[in-house]
């Protein structure tokens, strides 16, 4: 690379987030998932109706003196992340109402281009014990590209198949991280106050990365991002400043088995599959030169040339161009517009021939 900087892979790096980010080479990671401190500013202890104490987030790493201090910290790590992120990469950031508005505004100010905000609806949130607010039942994730014109990855077909063949929406429903997945100390107490469920990361990684690509988590904690990445056959880099968490996450990662390569690969979307030209159908005699194509309503008839051009009156060109011209439409997918007439008078879409060829491997 000529930068003198190495990209460590499949490691959790011990150290301060910003200082460690500065040692990573530029434009080197495909995706970032960041779960930064929440700046909760809890003023006192909170008790349940039965007088038991709620174990709130009061760790030292979560204390900031002011919004200004939090903003300065936020902009510093986000700036380094943007440097480390590839131009075609994306970043996910998760937060609650305490900090997420600072995070989102900072991302926009730094040049990130927001693609979606995604809501994690919690199946089993902590109730509001005082009855003074709505049950805080969700957290917000912001998904952003490097910039407004970035060509980023989105595995549309994979998300759609995950959701019973319907487009994946921006509101996701998952239980909290509990049970065997939740890391605990020897005393049985939870090791980390905000460990995220691996299922959440599974969906994020499946949406935006391919097997073998590199995922960075600058606030690695108990290593949920790394665990999901390893399981899905992605490479990971974690940054964590607490040695306790680093050790615990490395032990956790030892027990994670990558799934089969075939299983980790998501269904390719149509535009990622090898392209088959209309000319192939002509050459192979499926749609012979000189034959006639018609639209669904038999309103237009066009003749196929030996060079795979269509002619219909004055209109000459590709199946798409002629289809668009005849309909006076801005564009037209000729594959799903033109049919050939079979001997028994039925219509067959030319796209069916293409699919047959694709099924035979081109």
Partner DNA sequence: CGGCAATTTGAATCCGGAT
Partner DNA sequence: GATCCGGATTCAAATTGCC
DSSP H or E stretch at residue 32: strand 29-34
Bridge partners (DSSP) of residue 216 are: 32, 237
HSE-up (13 A, CA, CB side) for residue 362: 5
* Binding residue for its own copies, selected from 137, 210, 347, 349, defined by CB under 8 A: 137
Q: In 10 A of CB 13, how many CB atoms?
A: 18
> Which CB atom, from 6 or from 109, has the smaller least distance to DNA?
109
Q: Which range touches its own copies (CB under 8 A), out of 16-24, 80-88, 131-139, 345-353?
A: 131-139
* Residues from 300 through 319 that contact its own copies (CB under 8 A): 303-309, 311, 314, 316-318
Assess 163 for contact with its own copies (CB under 8 A): yes
Which CB atom, from 5 or from 67, has the smaller least distance to its own copies? 67
Judged by CB under 8 A, the chain residues 49 through 88 that form the site for its own copies are: 51, 67
Task: Round to whole Å and give the CA distance between 74 and 37.
Answer: 10
At 1 the three-state DSSP class reads: coil
316 binds, among its own copies, DNA, none (CB under 5 to 8 A by kind): its own copies
Question: Burial level of 201, CB count in 10 A (0-12/13-18/19+)?
Answer: buried
Residue 155 binding result from its own copies, DNA, none, given CB thresholds of 5 to 8 Å by partner type: its own copies
Residues 29, 226 contacting (CB under 8 angstroms): no
47 near its own copies, rule: CB under 8 A: yes
Which of 16, 59, 171, 352 binds its own copies (CB under 8 A)? It is: 171
Which CB, 34 or 168, lies closer to its own copies?
168
Within 246-285, the residues that bind its own copies by CB under 8 A are 259-260, 262-267, 269, 274-275, 277-279, 282-285
**For its own copies, the closer CB: 63 or 174:** 174
Shortest Cβ distance from residue 94 to DNA (Å)?
Answer: 7
CA distances from 140 to 41, 63, 93, 104, 105 (A): 19, 20, 8, 10, 14
From the list its own copies, DNA, none, which binds 2 (C-beta under 5 to 8 Å, kind-based)?
none
| Close Cβ partners of 348 (under 8 Å, ≥ 6 residues apart) | 339, 340, 342
Look up residue 33 and give its two tokens: 């998932």
Give the CA dihedral 329, 332, 334, 339, nearest 10 degrees.
-50
CB 297 within 8 A of CB 311: no
In sequence order, what E strands does 241-312 have?
A: 292-294, 301-304, 310-312
- Restricted to residues 210-249, the positions that interact with its own copies (CB under 8 A) are 232
Region from 229-237, 249-257, 265-273, 286-294 binding DNA, contact rule CB under 7 A: 265-273
The listed partner (DNA, its own copies, none) that binds 283, CB under 5 to 8 Å by sort, is its own copies
Among 8, 127, 212, 362, binds DNA (CB under 7 A): 127
8 Å CB contact between 237 and 24: yes
Residue from 98, 162, 210, 265 touching DNA (CB under 7 A): that is: 98
Q: How many residues bind its own copies (CB under 8 A)?
A: 105
C-beta of 8 vs 212, nearer to DNA:
212
Residue 135 burial (CB count, 10 A): 11
From the list 2, 4, 131, 243, which residue makes contact with DNA (rule: CB under 7 A)? 131
């Amino acid at each position: 690379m000529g930068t003198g900087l190495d990209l460590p892979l499949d490691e959790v790096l011990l150290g301060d987030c910003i200082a460690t980010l500065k040692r990573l080479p530029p434009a080197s990671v495909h995706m970032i998932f960041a779960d930064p401190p929440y700046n909760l500013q809890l003023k006192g202890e909170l008790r349940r109706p039965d007088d038991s104490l709620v174990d709130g987030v009061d760790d030292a790493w979560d204390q900031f003196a002011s919004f200004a201090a939090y903003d300065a910290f936020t902009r510093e790590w986000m700036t380094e992340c943007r440097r480390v992120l590839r131009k075609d990469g994306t970043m996910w950031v998760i937060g609650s109402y305490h900090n997420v508005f600072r995070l989102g505004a900072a991302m926009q100010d730094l040049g990130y281009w927001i693609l979606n905000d995604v809501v994690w609806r919690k199946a089993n949130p902590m109730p509001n014990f005082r009855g003074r607010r709505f049950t805080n039942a969700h957290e917000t994730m912001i998904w952003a590209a490097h910039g407004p014109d970035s060509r980023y990855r989105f595995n549309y077909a994979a998300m759609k198949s995950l959701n019973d063949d319907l487009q994946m929406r921006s509101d996701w429903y998952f239980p909290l991280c509990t049970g065997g997945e939740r890391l605990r100390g020897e005393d049985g107490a939870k090791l980390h106050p905000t460990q995220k469920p691996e299922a959440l990361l599974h969906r994020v990684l499946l949406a935006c990365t391919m097997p073998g690509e590199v995922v960075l988590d600058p606030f690695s904690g108990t290593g949920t991002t790394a665990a999901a990445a390893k399981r899905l056959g992605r490479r990971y880099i974690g940054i964590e400043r607490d040695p306790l968490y680093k050790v615990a996450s490395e032990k956790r990662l030892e027990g994670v088995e990558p799934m089969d390569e075939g299983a980790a690969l998501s269904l390719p979307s149509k535009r990622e599959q090898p392209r088959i030209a209309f000319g192939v159908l002509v050459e192979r005699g499926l749609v012979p030169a000189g034959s006639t194509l018609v639209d669904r309503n038999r309103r237009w008839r066009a003749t196929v040339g030996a060079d795979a051009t269509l002619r219909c009156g004055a209109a000459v060109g590709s199946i798409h161009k002629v289809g668009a011209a005849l309909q006076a439409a801005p564009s037209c997918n000729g594959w799903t517009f033109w049919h050939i007439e079979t001997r028994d008078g039925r219509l067959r879409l030319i796209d069916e021939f293409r699919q047959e060829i694709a099924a035979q491997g081109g």
